[in-house]
Amino acid sequence: MPTDPANTDVRMRGFARRTTVEDALAWVDNQTRCLPSEFVSLWQAAGRVLAAEVVSATNVPGFDRSMMDGYALHAADTQGATAYQRMELKIVGQSLPGQPFAGSVAPGQAVRIMTGAPLPAGADAVLPAERTEAIEETLFALDEVSPGKNIGRAGEDIACGASVLPTGRVLRPQDVGVLSSLGLAKVQVVRRPRVRIVVTGNELQSAGTPAEGCRIADSNGPMLAALVERDGGVAILGGVDNRQQGDYLVPDNPAAILAAMHDPADIVLVSGGSSVGQEDHAPLLVARHGELAIHGIAMRPSSPTGMGRIGAALVFLLPGNPVSCLCAYDFFAGRAIRRLAGRPPAWPYRPIRLPLARKLVSQVGRVDYARVRIARGHVEPVAISGASILSSTTVADGFVVVSADCEGFPAGAEVEVWRYDD
Amino acid sequence: MPTDPANTDVRMRGFARRTTVEDALAWVDNQTRCLPSEFVSLWQAAGRVLAAEVVSATNVPGFDRSMMDGYALHAADTQGATAYQRMELKIVGQSLPGQPFAGSVAPGQAVRIMTGAPLPAGADAVLPAERTEAIEETLFALDEVSPGKNIGRAGEDIACGASVLPTGRVLRPQDVGVLSSLGLAKVQVVRRPRVRIVVTGNELQSAGTPAEGCRIADSNGPMLAALVERDGGVAILGGVDNRQQGDYLVPDNPAAILAAMHDPADIVLVSGGSSVGQEDHAPLLVARHGELAIHGIAMRPSSPTGMGRIGAALVFLLPGNPVSCLCAYDFFAGRAIRRLAGRPPAWPYRPIRLPLARKLVSQVGRVDYARVRIARGHVEPVAISGASILSSTTVADGFVVVSADCEGFPAGAEVEVWRYDD
């Protein structure tokens, strides 16, 4: 690593050129394919992404059943029945859910039946209980019923061979119910990407530690862990395959950062040291030991963002400033994680179009990520918008993206806000 | 329990009267208050609900710091500097993040400083590196800088005493970052409601078991578990405090159901046996051992829904038919869980207004939960809409609620669809 001051000064002068956001996104899309599948328990399947179409190997239900509480009988035996001309039948047994009637129903006979119970052999209709009167084993039909009435047929929910759910489906609670009704114990879903979070910065203390002197508590580790989990990844900090407290920070030296980047993962997020200054080790390490495809992006904040590959993993170099870190994650790393996870690549934020309360100024040539509030149906840019002011993103209700060819919007212009609280 | 057939027949005749959806919702709201708080690790806080306002006990950052890579100096020393009239200063040391300059900067001196590093005593501005030239320990300022420039002040992100996040906030990833920057290791959040799921039905086999003969695999257990977790609750099945495979079904007899309802929980969901038939034990049990406040609701599906209290818990009696179960959960139980959890009580579904492709018929006097698809910008009612057809909710993109005073909508009318895939 360069330690000569003159050499360092050259490196402090900034980026030679900046990649456009568009080109960086194209690189991300080009480098990311949906991961292979794994089987998970039905009980863990909600919210996971289906890796293959589910085709039913069975009829659901597997038998004809009653849709009402009443009596299974021959429809013909009720012909002409009314409250004034009751038809008399003999009750020969009952069919309960899970406890079918063992015999067959002959003409003139009826079997008491509950909703969901199997239709006994011989019967071709169910007369609802409220249209009957029963005295001991004698049934009086007070109404007619036509053949097939109040019967749910085998396979009427799902027929054997039917396509039930498509590949790529993010499983909803009722999807899990349907998969269960097929008798499946396990579901084939896309493997969750393992995302290693490498937080560097000698000024940092691990999250959960009060600031002390000139050291500050890390905010990017827990923020990134939460973002990764939101986007379907598994966050790995400090070499442990779980979010954890404790000391997960990586010392700000090239050997430690390189070792952390080489630990197994699908994606590595390096927070801090992503720029071109004296202590910015990560870009040189990626360039030397992998491929630094992009470094420096025409956007604000997050312009000192890099991306490339190291070993088998994609690596994203995120600025240490928390707002830049969030923005770079949202634009690039989150999209990569969602694509590996088989999820929709678009932002998980809800867009809403509203007029601006004040003008929103931007600079042509770079994309702006402007934090805004929504008040009284209008959009107000958040005034304190330095890249280090993370509270600007908690005060904000969302953000507006101002494209590189746009110098901003006048008051009253309608803009698209991406709401943080989706 | 009544086993006399004559008695049973009376009970099979249906509900004496049905409560309106509006009254049932009012009962739910009246019975539910936000639960007490608990402390969780910062790493587990994302998505949880803040139980108390967070007020900062500290300045963030705790010290003045540089916002640029450059040189900390006296602004007055750069007065009149240009590339052609360079001002010469002496570099006396450096300030790195976490490694401050120990001394004080006198007039005529400069300290090399990195972004985020503490501003040394004496200095009142930072001149960016790209507006300097350095030769060994001599610095040439090529530009002026005014006092205070490129300095981030102590407390500029969050001032000591400032309100940081309000009570009731559903914590976003960046909120967790901000809480971390305050040095907090634990966060006070609303306790998650413990929701016991009691699935009854002699015709059922536990989820994950292929259907066999006249027995069918339960779909409501895993569906309800996923819904409960979505709404911020902790799903408890089979007496174990976790989702599990294995046999969690409760036998369809009064003693077993009563015992399961009495196990500790904030909310008990009973699936199956909620109506007025021979095997519908739960309503009588709740009436006898607790309070059956509502039984029978003017809606379709889910009309045989009940709710009340048993012991300290709220209890919801959900129909066994999967669509009815989902609908009754969505209307009542989910709302109760969200309210106990301190979450917004409204549906977690995204509404969208679109025109109907075909007419949507409903019956005056009851609320309809109509599953619909969205195709080519139009809303199409899902044709197969029996309460037992759970696949109607996986084929559907969402649902339309038709109020009790409405007999439906003609083709072309704009309706509000609640999208399942929020």
Which ipTM was obtained for this model?
Answer: 0.91
pTM of the predicted protein model: 0.91
Give per-residue pLDDT as tens, A201-260: 888 999 988 888 888 899 999 999 999 999 999 999 875 433 344 578 998 889 999 999
What's the rounded Cα separation, in Å, for the pair A382 and A171? 37
CA distance A20 to chain B (A): 23
CA distances from A264 to A39, A148, A201 (A): 21, 61, 22
Buried b (16+ CB within 10 A) or exposed e, A150-166: bbbebbbbbeeeeebbe
B55 contacts in A (CB within 8 Å)?
none
Closest partner CB to B390 (pick from A67, A174, A224): A174
What's the rounded Cα separation, in Å, for the pair A378 and A228? 31
CB under 8 Å to B268, separation ≥6 — which residues? B195, B196, B198, B260, B261, B310, B313, B314, B315, B316
What integer pLDDT is reported at residue B82 of this predicted model?
Answer: 96
Phi, psi of A337, deg, nearest 5: -65, -45
What integer pLDDT is reported at residue B9 of this predicted model?
Answer: 38
Residues 233-292 of chain A whose Cβ lies under 8 A from any Cβ of chain B: 243-245, 275, 277-279
CA distances from A377 to A28, A305, A373, A380 (A): 35, 34, 10, 10
User: Quick check: B245 and A388 CB within 8 A?
Assistant: no
What integer pLDDT is reported at residue A390 of this predicted model?
Answer: 83
The stretches in chain B having pLDDT less than 50 are: 1-13, 240-245
Closest partner CB to B203 (pick from A98, A156, A230): A98
Closest partner CB to B391 (pick from A45, A114, A178): A178
Per-residue pLDDT of chain A in tens (422 residues, 90 and over written 9): 333 333 333 344 468 789 999 999 999 999 999 999 999 999 999 999 999 999 999 998 899 999 888 999 999 999 999 999 999 999 999 999 889 999 999 999 999 998 889 999 999 999 999 999 999 999 999 999 999 999 999 998 899 999 999 999 999 999 999 999 999 999 999 999 999 999 998 889 999 888 888 888 999 999 999 999 999 999 998 754 333 445 789 988 899 999 999 989 999 999 998 988 777 999 999 999 999 999 999 999 999 999 999 999 999 999 998 999 999 999 999 999 999 999 999 999 999 999 999 999 999 999 999 999 999 999 999 976 566 778 888 889 999 999 999 999 999 999 999 999 85
User: Quick check: A97 and B201 CB within 8 A?
Assistant: yes
Which amino acid does the sequence have at B384? Answer: I
Dihedral sign (CA A376, A378, A383, A386)? positive
